[in-house]
């Protein structure tokens, strides 16, 4: 019988693609989501959905008692950097406390495997690029700090209770399922590609490029955009890696190619065939110059083979979603 996997945050952008991919590969899936940032319409009808909060231990215990879960994929977190700077306690409460409760419930129900969505934000302003898995983790905002605390918790929980875990640190998650049935819909939207596509659709007049005086070739920030389905695939490989008896570990996930904001805008103009007016604006604050992943260990140890290595293809999938769902899920 197929393993049953719980996806915490399975109604979110990354979670909904994760659930899709698990179901594609024959897994049985349980979604836990409180729909605070996720969407009811992003809940996959082939999964069993429990609406509730990961900070609620009674709720989690009920789910673990009803379902025979073998592993948890934890994607349930707040992730807006500027919001975390304004309201750090919201982030420590939801992200850190949520993980404490999840681990308590897992321990009580003898669930041995956790795959965790971590982030490049745990590295802060890296001194070397590309960023290796072993680079120093010195977050520069509460969001990154909360995820680092969660990674650290994993180490001690493994030591004390034997719960094995893999942290996957994504760089810039991008794109959507190719058929455009699920995709990215945040409110407010802060991410570059969805805002570019909103501008392409004429929903806003001009894209603001935050800063053109960074220490990069064209002065705009350089980021590493990795397709959401490739990210989902890495989680399945990490799960198999743990189930094969391998030790807990952490891996950086990116395409290993950096693109400046201006390069992304140029690629989006080619994909959409729209003018996409853009203007320079002051720095947003808290943006590191360059963030590019060294994903060589994920490739070597997990056998990860990203399918999308072309930024145009990645943007095309986001564009298909946007054209099919100009207003996103429209359920909020
Ligand atoms: N940007 C613009 N204009 C916009 C939006 C973004 O110029 O309207 C720029 C940003 O300044 C940045 C780049 O586009 O240089 C990418 O910005 P995103 O907000 O799309 O992504 P970030 O790199 O800021 O954040 C991502 C994740 C975070 C994670 C972080 C790791 O969304 O959750 O990577 O550093 F924390």
Measured distance CA(291)–CA(220) in Å, rounded: 12
pLDDT over threshold 80, residue 331: no
Question: Closest Cα to residue 311, out of 259, 248, 262?
Answer: 259
- For 171-213, the pLDDT digits (tens) are 999 999 999 999 999 988 999 999 999 999 999 999 999 999 9
User: How does strand 48-51 pair with strand 28-33?
Assistant: parallel
CB 302 within 8 A of CB 238: yes
Residue nearest to atom 20 of ligand 1 (CA): 191
What pLDDT score was predicted for residue 330? 86
- Kindly state the percentage of the chain with pLDDT values over 90: 95
Backbone conformation region of residue 44, classed left if phi is above 0, alpha if psi is from -120 to 50, else beta: beta
Distance 308 CA to ligand 1 centre (A): 20
Ligand 1 center–CA 225 separation, angstroms: 10
- pLDDT mean over 76-84: 92
DSSP single-letter state for residue 42: G
Report the nearest-CA residue for atom 34 of ligand 1. Answer: 172
261 lines ligand 1 (CB under 6 A): yes
pLDDT, position 256: 82
Q: Active-site positions?
A: 143
How much distance in Å is there from the Cα of 192 to the middle of ligand 1?
A: 6
Q: Which atom of ligand 1 is nearest to the CA of 143?
A: 36
Residue with tokens 């203007």: 279
| pLDDT digits 0-9 by tens, 128-173 | 999 999 999 999 999 999 999 999 999 999 999 999 999 999 999 9
Q: Extract the tokens encoding 300.
A: 């070597």
CA of 153 to the centre of ligand 1 (A): 26
In the 8-state DSSP scheme, what is residue 96?
Answer: I
pLDDT band at residue 332, thresholds of 50, 70 and 90?
Answer: very low
Nearest CA to ligand 1 atom 12: 221
Residue among 235, 233, 232 at smallest CA distance from 71: 235
Confidence of residue 61 (pLDDT cuts 50, 70, 90): very high
Q: How far is CA 224 from CA 122, 166, 256, 313, in A?
A: 15, 21, 6, 14
């Amino acid at each position: 019988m197929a393993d049953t996997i719980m996806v915490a945050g399975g109604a979110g952008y990354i979670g909904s693609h994760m659930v899709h991919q698990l179901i594609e590969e024959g897994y049985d899936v349980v979604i836990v989501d409180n729909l605070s940032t996720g969407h009811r319409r992003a809940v996959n009808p082939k999964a069993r959905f429990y609406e509730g909060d990961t900070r609620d231990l009674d709720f989690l215990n009920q789910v673990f008692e009803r379902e025979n879960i073998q592993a948890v994929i934890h994607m349930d977190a707040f992730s807006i950097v500027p919001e975390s700077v304004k309201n750090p306690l919201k982030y420590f409460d939801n992200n850190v406390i949520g993980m404490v409760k999840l681990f308590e419930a897992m321990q009580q129900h003898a669930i041995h495997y956790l795959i965790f969505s971590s982030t490049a934000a745990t590295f802060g302003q890296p001194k070397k690029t590309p960023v290796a898995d072993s680079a120093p983790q010195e977050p520069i905002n509460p969001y990154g700090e909360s995820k680092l605390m969660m990674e650290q918790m994993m180490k001690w929980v493994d030591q004390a209770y034997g719960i094995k875990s893999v942290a996957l640190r994504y760089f810039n998650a991008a794109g959507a399922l190719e058929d455009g049935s699920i995709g990215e819909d945040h409110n407010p939207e802060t991410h570059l590609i969805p805002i570019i596509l909103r501008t392409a659709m004429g929903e806003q007049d001009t894209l603001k490029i935050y800063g053109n005086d960074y220490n990069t070739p064209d002065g705009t920030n350089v980021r590493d955009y990795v397709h959401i389905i490739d990210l989902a695939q890495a989680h399945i490989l990490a799960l198999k890696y743990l189930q094969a008896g391998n030790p807990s570990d952490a891996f950086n996930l990116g395409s290993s190619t950096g693109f400046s904001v201006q390069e992304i805008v140029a690629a989006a103009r080619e994909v959409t065939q729209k003018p996409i007016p853009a203007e320079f604006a002051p720095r947003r604050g808290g943006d590191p110059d360059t963030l590019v992943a060294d994903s060589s260990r994920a490739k070597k140890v997990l056998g990860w083979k990203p399918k999308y290595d072309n930024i145009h293809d990645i943007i095309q999938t986001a564009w298909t979603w946007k054209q099919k769902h100009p207003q996103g899920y429209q359920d909020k």
